[in-house]
């Protein structure tokens, strides 16, 4: 499955959320990641983030697509980091 993750968390938790997201997905922009993951990896990612964030104050959004070919990205301006096929 292809996952896009966007988050808005408190400054004190940002580094931990960033580190977790980078283990599973490719960094695209500040607080935005995307990439292919298995169902098991997606569950682990969700569990790790749920244990890290403050559910009353933070927000993590997942957009799940069946595969990357379904998504179309249009970028205006500088591309910070392009997803890679290599892990």
Give the separation between CA 81 and CA 58, rounded to whole angstroms.
24
Q: Are 59 and 5 in contact (CB under 8 A)?
A: no
pTM value?
Answer: 0.81
Retrieve residue 9's tokens.
Answer: 């968390």
The residue segments making up the domain with residue 22 are 2-70
- For residue 86, the model assigns a pLDDT of 45
In tens digits, what is the pLDDT along the chain, a chain of 87 residues?
999 999 999 999 999 999 999 999 999 989 999 999 999 999 999 999 999 999 999 999 999 998 777 777 767 777 766 655 444
CATH (domain of 59): 3.30.70.240
Domain count within the chain: 1
């Amino acid at each position: 499955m292809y996952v896009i993750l966007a988050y808005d968390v408190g400054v004190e938790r940002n580094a931990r959320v960033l580190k977790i997201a980078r283990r599973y997905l490719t960094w695209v922009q500040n607080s935005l990641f995307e990439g292919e993951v298995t169902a098991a990896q997606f569950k682990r990612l969700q569990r790790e983030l749920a244990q890290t964030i403050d559910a009353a104050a933070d927000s993590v959004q997942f957009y799940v697509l069946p595969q990357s070919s379904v998504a179309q990205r249009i970028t205006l301006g500088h591309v910070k980091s392009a997803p890679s096929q290599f892990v």
